C-alpha cells in the first residue's frame, strides 16, 4: 500500500506494517516498524536503513538493497 | 562465419524507446523496472543524470523521464518528463513541444505518456529550449 507523508503515522498505527519505505521516518515509524528505509531524506544520495532497530546509512542505495530488506521483513512476518 | 568472435542480437521492439535518467539510483531503477514490467513491448534504458545527453545522442529515445531536462532533451526528444522539478510536487511534461505541468504526477500518468510516445516517434521534434 502507499500513503501520503502526512498520513504515514496513522497508516502505521492502523495496519502495523513490517516494513516501511518513506522519505522521512516519523517517530511512529521508528518506534513501531521493525524494518524501515528512509529514502533520500534530503534529496541526496544518502538513505537510512533500520533492520530491527539496527540502523545504518547507505550511500547510493539500489533497488536490490530494498528487495533485500523486503526479504528479511518477509521472513520476520512468516515467523510471527 | 564459424569461429567468429562477433555476435549480433537483433531484438524486435514494438513499443517506445524510453530513457530514465535520475541521480537517485533507487528511484531510477524502480521506475525503469515498473516500465519494463507494465509496458513489456517498450525498450527501457537507464542513465545517470550526468550522462543524460550522451544517452540521448546514442539511443534517440522516444521518451525521456529525468530529474532535470537538458537542452538536448528539449530539442531532440519527442516526449519528455522532468520529474519533481526543484524537489516539488510539480512535474513538467512535453509531448511534441506541447508542454504542461502535472501536480502530484502518478505512475499512471507516466504509463499514459509511454503509450502516447509510441505514436510520436515518426513525427519531427518541435520542442524549443526553455
* pLDDT 10s digits, B86-109: 888 899 999 999 999 999 999 999
For a pLDDT cut of 90, what percent of chain A falls above it? Answer: 89
**pLDDT the model gives residue B1:** 46
**Residue A33 · residue A19 · CB < 8 Å:** yes
pLDDT band at B118 (very low <50, low <70, confident <90, very high): confident
**pLDDT the model gives residue B15:** 84
Q: Which set of grid coordinates corresponds to residue B100?
A: 504542461
> pTM for the complete prediction?
0.82
Read off the pLDDT of each residue in B8-30 and give the average, rounded to a whole number. Answer: 82
**pLDDT the model gives residue B120:** 56
A31 touches chain B (CB under 8 A): no
CA distance A8 to A15: 10
Chain A interface disruption, residue of B25, B44, B50, most A CBs within 10 A? B25
**Residue B96 · residue B120 · CB < 8 Å:** yes
Q: Do B25 and A45 touch (CB under 8 A)?
A: yes
**pLDDT the model gives residue B130:** 41
pLDDT digits over B23-32, tens only?
999 999 999 9
Read off the pLDDT of each residue in B19-45 and give the average, rounded to a whole number. Answer: 95
ipTM: 0.83
Å from B29 to nearest chain A CA? 6
Q: Which set of grid coordinates corresponds to residue A16?
A: 502495523
CA distance A33 to A42: 21
A24 touches chain B (CB under 8 A): no
Q: Any idea of the CA torsion for B25, B30, B35, B38, to the nearest 10 degrees?
A: 170
Closest CA to B43 of B24, B28, B62: B62
Torsion sign over Cα A29, A48, B30, A24? positive
Q: Which set of grid coordinates corresponds to residue A69?
A: 530488506
DSSP E strand boundaries for chain B: 17-21, 43-47, 63-66, 79-82, 90-95, 98-103
pLDDT at A66 over 60: yes
Q: Do the bridges between strand B43-47 and strand B79-82 make them parallel or antiparallel, or are there none, so unpaired?
A: unpaired
Q: Which residues of A touch B33 (CB under 8 A)?
A: 63
A52 touches chain B (CB under 8 A): no
Q: How many CB atoms lie within 10 A of CB A19?
A: 19
pLDDT at B127 over 80: no
Q: Do A61 and B25 touch (CB under 8 A)?
A: yes
DSSP 8-state class, residue B116: H
CA distance A64 to B88: 27
pLDDT at B9 over 80: no
Read off the pLDDT of each residue in B55-72 and give the average, rounded to a whole number. Answer: 96
pLDDT at A44 over 60: yes
Amino acid at each position: 500500500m502507499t500513503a501520503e507523508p502526512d498520513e504515514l503515522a496513522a497508516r502505521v498505527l492502523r495496519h502495523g506494517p513490517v516494513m516501511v519505505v518513506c522519505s522521512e521516518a516519523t517517530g511512529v515509524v521508528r518506534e513501531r516498524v521493525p524494518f524501515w528505509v528512509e529514502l533520500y531524506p534530503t534529496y541526496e544520495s544518502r538513505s537510512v536503513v533500520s533492520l530491527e532497530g539496527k540502523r545504518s546509512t547507505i550511500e547510493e542505495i539500489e533497488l536490490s538493497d530494498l528487495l533485500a530488506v523486503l526479504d528479511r521483513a518477509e521472513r520476520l512476518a512468516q515467523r510471527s | 562465419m564459424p569461429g567468429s568472435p562477433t555476435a549480433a542480437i537483433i531484438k524486435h521492439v514494438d513499443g517506445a524507446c524510453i530513457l530514465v535518467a535520475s541521480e537517485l539510483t533507487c528511484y531510477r531503477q524502480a521506475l525503469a523496472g515498473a516500465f519494463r514490467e507494465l509496458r513489456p513491448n517498450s525498450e527501457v534504458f537507464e542513465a545517470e543524470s550526468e550522462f543524460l545527453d550522451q544517452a540521448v545522442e546514442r539511443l534517440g529515445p522516444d521518451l525521456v523521464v529525468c530529474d532535470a531536462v537538458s537542452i538536448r532533451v528539449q530539442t531532440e526528444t519527442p516526449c519528455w518528463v522532468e520529474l519533481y522539478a526543484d524537489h516539488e510536487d510539480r512535474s513538467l511534461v512535453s509531448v511534441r513541444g506541447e508542454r504542461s505541468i502535472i501536480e502530484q504526477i502518478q505512475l499512471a500518468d507516466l504509463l499514459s505518456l509511454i503509450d502516447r510516445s509510441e505514436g510520436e516517434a515518426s513525427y519531427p521534434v518541435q520542442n524549443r529550449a526553455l
